[in-house]
Amino acid sequence: MQKVQQGFTLIELMIVVAIIGILAAIAIPAYQDYTIRSQVSEGLSLAAGSKTAVGEFFTDRGTFPTNNASAGVAVAASIAGNYVSQVAIAAGLITVTYDAANGASPNTKIAGDTLLLSPIDNGGSLKWTCKTSTLEPKYVPSSCR
């Protein structure tokens, strides 16, 4: 009796490798964008306390605080995370700077970029708008678009 060989042919294996390569070519850039967006969202989380402080200052005095100290929050460099080097307040405008902090570095596509949170008086409440200078819109969190 003749023994029948079983297994994949070279063509079949090459087709599988090609399919995996195509899927990887699509998935890797998408994952990098996801990673960058998560790094940018860290800035919004760190700015939440400053937003509250600016809101309370505005409610009490009718004007915006001039800096972190007048708003009653820590100095800008003390409000830092893994990818955010500082959160600064100037005339109510909150500036989140993405740079190396606490031993971690943000993706090179956002390193040195800033996210600006600007308060707008709505007659008793504040509406926050996000602005960016060099940060690409696709990396800005959906709550800022």
Whether 19 maps to a domain, the answer reads yes
Q: What is the pLDDT of residue 52?
A: 95
Low-confidence ranges of the chain (pLDDT < 70): 1, 103
Q: What is the pLDDT of residue 131?
A: 87
Whether 131 maps to a domain, the answer reads yes
Count the domains in the chain: 1
Q: Which DSSP string corresponds to 25-50?
A: HHHHHHHHHHHHHHHHHHHHHHHHHH
Sign of the C-alpha dihedral computed for residues 106, 132, 86 and 44 taken in this order:
negative
Q: What is the CATH number of the domain that holds 70?
A: 3.30.700.10
What is the domain range of residue 47?
Answer: 10-144
Whether 29 maps to a domain, the answer reads yes
Whether 58 maps to a domain, the answer reads yes
Q: How far apart are CA 17 and CA 11, in angstroms?
A: 10
Whether 132 maps to a domain, the answer reads yes
Beta carbons within 10 angstroms of residue 85's beta carbon:
20
Q: How far apart are CA 96 and CA 102, in angstroms?
A: 15
For residue 19, how many C-alpha atoms fall within 13 Å in the half-sphere facing its CB?
Answer: 6
Whether 5 maps to a domain, the answer reads no
Q: How far apart are CA 85 and CA 88, in angstroms?
A: 10
Whether 4 maps to a domain, the answer reads no
Q: Is residue 79 helix, strand or coil?
A: coil
Q: What is the pLDDT of residue 25?
A: 94
Whether 2 maps to a domain, the answer reads no
Letter for the amino acid at 127? K
Contact between 29 and 90 under an 8 Å Cβ cutoff? The reply is: no
Q: How far apart are CA 67 and CA 86, in angstroms?
A: 13
Q: What is the pLDDT of residue 3?
A: 73
Q: What is the pLDDT of residue 23?
A: 94
pLDDT in tens, 110-145: 998 999 999 999 887 899 999 887 888 888 888 887
Q: What is the pLDDT of residue 40?
A: 92
